[in-house]
Structure 1
């Protein structure tokens, strides 16, 4: 409480300390920032309102209808877990597989776990965990089956595709489900009973769940992940109202087995690509969750968010410093998003939903609207008055504090004073990272794998030209942005 009082008092003192004439001198810039803010906060308000309606009205009704339909059908469906493990600490793997086996033993229709591994030590650990969990359930022996796929360390996509073919050989029923789980994510114990009813609607292709971050790293890194998952909860709820979430999170998502066994689905998981007019054919190294999402989106299936199921994601800080860690992760996340969004926008809006289509478009527009505000402030500070900097800082403190208060109201808890600053960091630095990746869609790298695809890693004039052209186009776009905000704000 004391930290929040100091925060708010500091904001007021900074705002009152700005000389009054400054407001008149930079009125053009303030109007520009205000109009951009009006646009962005109107969009945020629409998503907040949709999320509130979904969580309090739409989802409870949908859950009740699904439970009633599932009970009326009177069947028990089988569940398959597909787990990928690569370079995960043994203590984390133990925790993850224990949660999976505990959930599997709760399945009324039985469960099969297919674990994709690279190291034989992981196989031994998995069998030990299964034995310890099975000993706690002696009355249901034989209900849970384990299959281990050992593959070469050629990447997560190969691991998923190989294990999907293993599941296909087990002949899943048309109402069975496949739960994709990352090797660092713990599933809720009731994940099967709570998710199966949602698939009574034949148009539902997949669902994803809420997430809680159990983050290992510095305080800022932990707070940043916590805030991101709170934002995710709001956005997923808003998008699920239109029955099309914007991603099927790779940490844990659930698919209709008959769709996941489709040869086209498996082929896209194994090898996905886009043809870019300047970069040529860009093969996806990362972003398997975006590939599965696009395959279902293209075919008109519903993809829902289940806010009453929570996956625990055990995150580790990839780099020693917060800035380096956040940048590495955002580069991977936003690269996956931007590589897929272009082809998603090519789909008819009437097919995927107008709100969904516009949300995908807005992910591109927001890159430039987010950068426009800071750009106009910096130009005004240089050419008109430096007093606009503390005024803008106070504005950022106020608006981000209000946004964090509203976002955290969906969680029903308070937040540390680091959240407003981390929110602004995610918005501005995230927008710059997006702008960087937008012109370099061929650059990809896993966090835990050394495998990398980049125009810089290949030799030849064509590749060097593409690298230079990417830098040129990125600088040109930023130049036009600066000129535009300078003109609109009457700075030049």
Structure 2
């Protein structure tokens, strides 16, 4: 997809990026195979290898389960949902909340133009509440609104964000909608001001919500339109490919892990309720070490948790796509992507504990286990590279080469399987997935121990810290200390397995021979002893 008014933003990279991706992938594989010796090393760290194998089996089995469940939802379950939705009547009224913070006017014109086009195609009276920051935004929205022939009764209300942040503006908009007394069956759309709606997005999503009386909210597929280099664009696409697979798997249990703020649709009686509005306006979590933390970012996690807490089902409308307009913050790819992941994963870890506390009866068993897995995956994702590095240091450097071969082959197969279920594939996905695994896991661990660190990537607004003062003991065991201890324990647990036997003597250039000679145990002779 390409938007005429946004020529620098495109959905996918060109053929040159794909060719370079294939050359990089094939070149690395050939080079790594060339580095392998004729005889592969016999590793003596039996317990480390066994632990690595068991954890690896669990991770791959869990991933295979998600792929299978997603395929079942996409090919067997969702077509029946769509058939019921096609027979459903449209809602009597629609409310759309759009939040924009200092968007370029070309982007505003594209977003609101597409929104008003969809409202005209849908034919349902719609109240659009636009939360903006500049007077130029108001002029752009009013011009776009005046140029469309919208259903009778449709109107636009403008709310200024007033420098108090997105949540304050959203709560004010929801209060305004509640004051309009939405009729029974009305629906509310929450969307970001940098999201372009796909064709028939409103009709198809609202129809699913109407046809499924136990469903409180739905969200859709995201196909980003990205400004940047080839790897940046494919990094975003790889994330959305994984998201599509995970959303489909979770939706099989009629639960989701988030109701994405880019575009989600709620029942009006849920979205305009006091509990929902309060969750948006002043959500917080209580942390045992840091006290009460106000939720600055993560309004989509707040709306998700309130929907989950009040007992509503959730669904993924996989045949509808919206198009977020994406551009990395300044600072280079690693720094910018890390800042984004810190915001995303920070939202995840702040909401995880209270969702787990709801228990499997409210969450459903599969969602509840997935929430527990979020806590564990940040550690298990680092076990592979940690084990490979420590075994290379203590026994044989060839282990690291073998591990990199495994990474390239296994991620290549995984991307091919994702391609079969989602229809998306690119050779650069292999590198994007592994980057997300390792760097993402480290950022999750940091966010887990620093849940008070919140910052918008577009706005300068940051967290003001905990709302209550932590105890002296909590302050003494500061987050940096806790993070350091946790990482030290991970390394120690892995290293203890790699030192349960003498290092291999067949490769005299192994760094382990120099570093760990004093701890050899003559009584241990290897796996066959």
Same-fold call, TM > 0.5? yes
Q: TM-score under structure 2 normalisation? A: 0.86
Q: CA deviation at 1:311?
A: 0.4
Q: Distance in 2 between matches of 1:283 and 1:392?
A: 42
SS of equivalent residue, structure 1 residue 286? coil
Match of 1:182 in 2: 192
Does residue 1:85 correspond to 2:90, yes or no?
Answer: no
Distance 1:93 1:467 in 2: 48
Instruction: Report if aligned partners of 1:436, 1:474 keep a CA contact under 8 Å in 2.
Output: yes
Q: Is 1:126 matched up with 2:145?
A: no
Say if 1:176 and 1:256, in contact at 8 Å, map to a contact too.
yes
Q: Does 1:98 align with 2:98?
A: no
Q: Deviations over 1:23-82 (max 9, x none)?
A: 3036635444333221111100000000001000100012212333x24xxx65211110
Indicate the SS of the match to 1:443.
Answer: coil
Partner SS for 1:25: coil
Aligned to 2:487: 478
C-alpha separation in 2, matches of 1:85 and 1:121: 12
Counterpart-to-counterpart distance in 2, 1:369 and 1:15: 26
Structure 2 counterpart of 1:109, from 119, 124, 139: 124
Q: Is the 8 A contact 1:36 1:373 kept in 2?
A: no
Asked if the contact 2:123/2:151 (under 8 Å) is kept, the reply is no
Tell me which of 307, 330, 345 is aligned to 1:319.
Answer: 330
Distance 1:463 1:194 in 2: 54
Gaps of 5+ in 1: none
Question: Offset of 1:411 from its aligned partner?
Answer: 3.1
The structure where helix makes up a greater share of residues is 1
* Structure-2 change in CA distance of 1:347 and 1:326 (3 Å): same
1:48 equivalent to 2:63? Answer no
C-alpha distance in 2 between matches for 1:163 and 1:10: 53
After superposition, the C-alpha distances for 1:285-343 in whole angstroms (9 at most, x for unaligned) are 00000000000111110111001110001011112311011100000000000000000
Q: 1:39 aligns with which of 54, 58, 64?
A: 58
Could you tell me which residue of structure 1 aligns to residue 13 of structure 2? Answer: none
Q: Considering only aligned residues, what root-mean-square deviation do their CA atoms show, in Å?
A: 2.3
**Cα deviation digits, residues 329-377 of structure 1 (max 9, x gap):** 0000000000000000011202211001001110111011011111111
**Distance in 1 separating the partners of 2:163 and 2:472:** 27
Deviates more, 1:38-47 or 1:116-125: 116-125
Closer, same or farther: CA 2–184 of 1 in aligned 2, 3 Å: closer
Matched, 1:155 2:165: yes
Partner residue of 1:432 out of 442, 450, 460: 442
C-alpha contact 1:76 1:108 (8 A) present in aligned 2: no
Tell me, yes or no, if structure 1 residue 378 matches structure 2 residue 389.
yes
Q: Is the 8 A contact 1:32 1:489 kept in 2?
A: no
Does the aligned pair in 1 maintain the 2:220–2:264 contact within 8 Å?
A: yes
> Using a 3 Å threshold, how does the CA distance of structure 1 residues 392 and 467 change in structure 2: closer, same or farther?
farther
Confirm whether residue 310 of structure 1 aligns to residue 337 of structure 2: no
Rate the CA distance shift 1:467–1:240 in 2: closer, same or farther, 3 A.
Answer: farther
Partner Cα separation in structure 1 for residue 55 and residue 25 of structure 2: 25
Determine the C-alpha separation between the residues in 1 that align with 2:312 and 2:361.
13
Please give the secondary structure, in 2, of the residue aligned with 1:453.
Answer: coil
Listed as ranges, the matches of 1:56-67 within 5 Å are 56-67=75-86
Residue 240 (structure 2) aligned to one of 205, 225, 229:
229
In the other structure, the counterpart of 2:14 is none
Measured in 1, the distance between the counterparts of 2:38 and 2:54 equals 21
CA distance 1:150–1:7, change in 2 (3 Å): closer
Confirm or deny: 8 A CA contact 2:45 2:499 kept in the other structure: no
User: Where do 5+ consecutive residues of structure 2 fail to align?
Assistant: 1-17, 502-529
When normalised by structure 1's length, the TM-score is 0.92
| Structure 1: distance between partners of 2:281 and 2:489 | 39
Q: 1: distance between equivalents of 2:23 and 2:115?
A: 44
What is the rounded CA distance, in whole Å, between the counterparts of 1:422 and 1:246 in structure 2?
Answer: 22
Q: Secondary structure at the match of 2:122?
A: coil
Deviates more, 1:327-336 or 1:55-64: 55-64
The structure that has the greater radius of gyration is 2
Answer yes or no: is the 8 Å Cα contact 2:129–2:159 preserved in 1. Answer: yes
User: Comparing 140-149 with 356-365, which one deviates more in the overlay?
Assistant: 140-149
CA distance, structure 1, for counterparts of residue 262 and residue 97 of structure 2: 11
Cα distance in 2, alignment partners of residues 201 and 350 from structure 1: 21
User: How far off is 1:15 after superposition?
Assistant: 3.2
Residue 210 of structure 1: SS of its match in structure 2?
strand
CA positional deviation for 1:222: 1.0
Task: Please give the per-residue CA displacement for 1:168-202, whole angstroms capped at 9, x wherever unaligned.
Answer: 11111120111111010011241222122222332
1:330 aligned to 2:341?
yes
Instruction: Kindly report which structure 2 residues correspond to 1:216-365, keeping only aligned pairs within 5 A, or say none.
Output: 216-365=227-376
